[in-house]
Chain A
Amino acid sequence: MKNCEYQQIEPQALPTPAPTPPPPPHHGNDTDKKKESKRPRRKWEVFPGKNRFCCDGRIMVARQSGVLPLTLGLILVTSVLFFIFDCPFLVKHLTSCIPAIGGVLFVFVVITLLQTSFTDPGILPRATPEEAADIERQIDNTGNTSYRPPPRTKEVLINQQVVKLKYCFTCKMFRPPRTSHCSLCDNCVERFDHHCPWVGNCVGKRNYRFFYTFIVSLSFLTAFIFGCVTTHLALRAQGGKGLVFALQESPGSAVELVICFFSVWSILGLSGFHTYLVASNLTTNEDIKGSWSGKSGEDVTNPYSHKNIFINCCSVLCAPIPPSLIDRRGFLPADESVQTGGAAIELAAKSEINVCTQGTKGLLESAALSPLLSTSCPQGKPQTAHPCSDNSPAVNSDPSPELSKSCGSHHTTRSHGNTSRSKKCKQAALHIPNPAFEASFSPNPPDSDPGSKASGCKGTSFNPLH
C-alpha cells in the first residue's frame, strides 16, 4: 500500500498536550494514588524509623513496646491492692495521710511513666539527600563506592578533650557528640542514655528527666507501699494472732509484699545509679563503655561535666527542653505528596530495587543519585531514606487510607499488607550490616540490679529484628 507513509509528528505541533495515560495494570492504583495524594500527608506517616504513632502523630512509642503494659499493670495492680486492702486499716489505726501520700506518689509515677514512653527522646531526623551527598563528597575522595568504605570518624576538640564523631550509615550524617543510634528504634538519639524496654522507648536528651523522675518516684512509691504493708501486717498480727492469720485476713497484702520486695532493691539501685550519672553528667551509654573513665590509660575527663554536682544536676534536670526535631505533625510539602503518582512510582520502584538487590551498595548509590533525582523530580528525603515504607502506599491496595488517621496505627502497617516485593525489601533493609549496631547496642540498666529485671531487660533488648 503506497499511502502508508509514516511521518514523525512534532510534539509541539499538537494542539493540546496529551495527558500521560496511566499504564493499564496500575490504573486502579493510580486513581487511588491521585485521590490519596490530594490528602495532605503528615510527616509522621513517612517517618523512616521504627516507631509507632498514635492519635495522628501526637503520641509516639518505639515499635517494641511490649513490656510497657506489664510495667503499667504491675504498678496499677500493686497500687489498687494497696488502696483496697491496706489503706482502710491504716487510716483507722494510724493516720489518713497515708492514702493521700500514696495517691500523690501513684499519680506522679503514672504521669512520668507515660511521659517517658510517649515523648520523643531526642530523635535526630535523617539527613536530606543533598546533605548526605555533600558529606559524601567531602570525605569520599577515592570515588570508589563499590564496597562499603571503612567506618568514618571525625575528631573534634571539646573542652580540650578529643571526641570522635562517628558517621551513621543509616542516617547519613556524622553523629553529634553523645548521640547514638538505637538499633531497636532505628533512630539516632541525642544524648542517648539507653533503650528501656520497661518504658518501651529510648531514654535520651528530651525525656531523661521524665525517666529520672519516674524511677525516683517509683522507688519512693515501692518503698512506701512496702513499709505500709509491713506495718499493716505487723499490726494485724499483734496479740499473738500470727502472720498467717494476718495474711488470711488481707490476702492482697501478700501479693503487694511479694511484688514490692522483689522490685524495691532493683528500683532503688537504679535510682541510685542514675543519681550518680546525673551528678557527674554522664549517660548510661558512656558509663558502660567507659568513655571518660580513663580505662585506656590516657588522661581523659568528661568534657561535658561542669565540675560541680549542683550545676550538673541542674543542667541535666532543669535545663530548657529542646523541641522535637522530627516535626511529626507537620505536613509534607505539597509537591512531594502530589508527585507520588505517575513517573514517581517508576522512579521509586527503581530505587527500591536498588536497595533490595544491592543492599548497602544500593544505599550509598542512592545517596549519590538522589541529588539527581531530587532536582528532576523532587521526592524528598523519605524516598531515599526508606524507600520501602514510602513506596508502600503506591503498591498497597489497602482498603482503608483512613486507617492511618486512627489511633494505634503506624506507617509500617501498610507494608505488612504489601506484596512480597516490599517484604523482601524490608528484610534487605533490616539485614544491611550496620556498624552502628556495635557502637550503640542500646545498653540496658546495668548489672547492678540483681533482680529478675536485669535478665528480663537483656532478653527483650536483644530480640532479633523482625
Chain B
Amino acid sequence: MAETHSLQDLHQPVASSKVFIQRDYSSGIICKFQTKFPSELDLRLTKQQFEETIQTLNNLYAEAEKLGGESYLEGCLACMTAYTIFLCMETHYEKVLKKIARYIKDQNEKIFAPSGLLLTDPIERGLRVVEITIFEDRSIGSGR
C-alpha cells in the first residue's frame, strides 16, 4: 500500500485570526492609528514593541501629510503647470509611502514573523486599519 501524505502533514501556518487597529481621529483627519495594545497579541508581542511600531507608522504618515515649505512649493509648481507635472514626478506622499512599505517589511522580518504575526501595510486596506494576522503553526505528524 503506497503511503499517502495529506497536505496537513506539512508544517503549514494557518491564519487563525486577525486583529484590526482602527484609526485615531482625535487629532483630525490625518492618518493616525490607535496605540492601544490589543489583548490578542499579549503572548506574542510586548506592549512596547507594538506601541513603537504604531508610533513610528504614525510619525511616517504625519511626515507624508505634512504641510510645509516643500509641499507648498510642490503644490504651487503643480498648479502652474496645470498639474501635468505629476505625470513625470513622484509626489512627496508617494515617496514616504515607499519608506513606510520598507519599514513594515523590516518590522515583519525582525519582530513580527518570528512571533508568528504578519503586519499588513495599511495602504492595502485603504488606510482604514492596520491589520495584524495571527498565525497558528499546525504541525501534525503523519506517523513516521
Q: Which residues of A come within 8 Å of B, CB atoms?
A: 12, 15, 107-108, 111-112, 115, 124-125, 127-128, 130-131, 134, 156-159, 163, 165, 173, 176-178, 191, 209-210, 213, 303-304, 311, 314-315, 317-323, 325-327, 375
Report Cα–Cα, A116/B92, bound state, in Å.
20
Report Cα–Cα, A213/B84, bound state, in Å.
13
Does the CB pair B82–A319 fall under 8 Å?
no
B 105-144 binary contact with A (CB < 8 Å = 1; else 0): 0000000000000000001111111010000000000000
B92 to A: closest C-beta gap in Å: 5
Does the CB pair B75–A124 fall under 8 Å?
no
- Which chain B residues border A317 with CB–CB below 8 Å? 75, 79
Does the CB pair A15–B2 fall under 8 Å?
yes
Chain B residues 83 to 113 lying within 8 A of chain A, measured CB to CB, are 83-84, 86, 91-94, 97
**Pairs across A and B, CB under 8 Å, 15 listed:** A125-B125, A127-B128, A131-B128, A134-B18, A177-B25, A209-B79, A209-B83, A213-B83, A304-B28, A318-B74, A318-B79, A319-B71, A320-B92, A323-B97, A325-B127
The verdict on B4 contacting chain A, using a C-beta distance below 8 Å, is: yes
Report Cα–Cα, A213/B82, bound state, in Å.
8
Report Cα–Cα, A131/B129, bound state, in Å.
9
Does the CB pair A319–B128 fall under 8 Å?
no
The verdict on B43 contacting chain A, using a C-beta distance below 8 Å, is: no
CB contact between B65 and one of A107, A112, A319 (< 8 Å): that residue? A319
Q: Which residue of A lies closest to B17 (CB)?
A: A130
Does the CB pair A124–B126 fall under 8 Å?
yes
Report Cα–Cα, A112/B82, bound state, in Å.
6
Report Cα–Cα, A165/B71, bound state, in Å.
29
Report Cα–Cα, A125/B126, bound state, in Å.
6
Does the CB pair A325–B79 fall under 8 Å?
no
Report Cα–Cα, A319/B73, bound state, in Å.
10
Report Cα–Cα, A131/B93, bound state, in Å.
26
Report Cα–Cα, A165/B128, bound state, in Å.
13
A53 to B: closest C-beta gap in Å: 18
- Which chain A residues border B20 with CB–CB below 8 Å? 130-131, 134
B13 to A: closest C-beta gap in Å: 14
Does the CB pair A178–B67 fall under 8 Å?
no
Report Cα–Cα, A127/B124, bound state, in Å.
11
